[in-house]
């Protein structure tokens, strides 16, 4: 087994793995806007209308389907919204699912929604010129909430490229599964894993057919500190012990993790390392340590 020094892990942590396409998922945003573009263009009719309430009521009677766009106008993704009436202190619920017809009472509720949320003034005073462009901007802002998930995907994609380029394309005897489950591993390599959870899903499983060795791999990246790091280190320490104790010796667990967040949580990481967890960061993978572990 290749020797790994814990200090090398800490001293070569990456500051970021963000690429230029990390910040905004333009394709997803464009698709989201395209889904509501026609209905937003119908609502554009209300921009600048002085007799806003009358025009609003008339529009909803003719085009009740536009109510499905209302949540995104206030940067919310939901089919229903419950709010507190600050005058009566009662809860009020609005549904934004597709309707073929709206009652006068329903339309009054939707008008109140427009008025109370400030959308009436936004359109009436021409503070925006086009709702399609406006929603495009809203989607860009909301997309930033997905960045945390994208970090995980980026880490997976980076490691996946190393596996494909440094292992599978160079060695005929090495195969891998992305998002590997117990059933996938059994079906592909006839290896019956004993796991701590029936639904356990590994980011990667790599099999060296010549050695008969199976490597189960988890990957993650932490740019900031927090209790999550300690919990993750503890979880993988326990997982490694379970895999080692309950399975064949030809099955190993590898944890590829990175990010400056670990500088704030060195102790739990070192504890996992000292308990036998094979830990690598991206610099080590880049320098061929993962390849050596899998092939030597």
pLDDT for residue 1: 59
Confidence at residue 120, expressed as pLDDT on a 0 to 100 scale: 98
Residue 279 pairs in a beta bridge with 255
Instruction: Give the pLDDT score at 269.
Output: 97
Contact status, residue 264 vs residue 229, Cβ threshold 8 Å: yes
Which phi and psi (to 5°) does residue 222 adopt? -130, 110
Whole-number pLDDT of residue 245: 94
Q: Given this model, what pLDDT does residue 170 score?
A: 95
CA dist 45 and 41 (Å) reads: 7
Three-state SS letters, the chain: CCCCCHHHHHHCCCCCCCCHHHCCCHHHHHHHHHHHHHHHHHHHHHCCCCCHHHHHHHHHHHCHHHHHHHHHHCCCCCCEEEEECCCCCCEEEEECCCCCCCCHHHHHHHHHHHHHCCHHHHHHCCCCCCHHHHHHHHHHHHHHHHHHHHHHHHHHHHHHHHHHHHHHCCCCCEEEEEEEEHHHHHHHHCCCCCCCCCCCEEEEEEEECCCCEEEEEEEEECCCCCHHHHHHHHHHHHHHHHHHHHCCCCEEEEEEEECHHHHHCHHHHHHHHHCCCEEECHHHHHCCHHHHHHHC
If you average pLDDT over every residue of the chain, what do you get?
95
Burial status of residue 59 (CB atoms within 10 A of its CB: 0-12, 13-18, 19 or more): middle
Collect the ranges in the chain with pLDDT lower than 50.
none
Q: What pTM value is reported for the model?
A: 0.79
């Amino acid at each position: 087994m290749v020797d790994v020094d814990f200090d090398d892990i800490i001293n070569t942590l990456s500051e970021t793995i963000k690429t230029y396409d990390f910040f905004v998922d333009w394709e997803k945003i464009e698709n989201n806007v395209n889904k509501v573009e026609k209905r937003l263009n119908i609502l554009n009719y209300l921009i600048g209308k002085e007799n806003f309430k009358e025009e609003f009521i008339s529009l909803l009677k003719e085009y009740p389907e536009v109510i499905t766009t209302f949540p995104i106008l206030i940067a919310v993704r939901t089919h229903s919204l419950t709010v507190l009436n600050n005058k009566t202190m009662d809860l009020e619920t609005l549904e934004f699912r597709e309707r073929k017809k709206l009652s006068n009472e329903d339309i009054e509720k939707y008008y109140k929604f427009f008025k109370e949320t400030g959308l009436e003034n936004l359109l009436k005073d021409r503070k925006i010129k086009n709702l399609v462009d406006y929603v495009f901007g809203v989607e860009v802002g909301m997309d930033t909430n997905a960045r945390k998930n994208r970090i995980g995907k980026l880490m997976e994609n980076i490691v996946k490229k190393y596996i494909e380029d440094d292992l599978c394309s160079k060695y005929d005897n090495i195969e891998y599964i992305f998002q590997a489950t117990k059933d996938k591993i059994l079906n592909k390599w006839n290896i019956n894993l004993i796991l701590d959870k029936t639904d356990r899903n590994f980011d990667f499983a790599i099999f060296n057919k010549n050695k008969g060795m199976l490597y189960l791999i988890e990957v993650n990246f932490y740019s900031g500190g927090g209790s999550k790091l300690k919990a993750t280190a503890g979880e993988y320490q326990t997982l490694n012990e379970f895999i080692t104790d309950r399975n064949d010796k030809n099955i190993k667990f590898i944890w590829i993790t990175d990010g400056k967040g670990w500088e704030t949580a060195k102790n739990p990481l070192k504890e996992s390392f000292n308990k036998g967890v094979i830990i690598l960061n991206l610099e080590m993978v880049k320098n061929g340590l993962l390849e050596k572990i899998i092939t030597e």
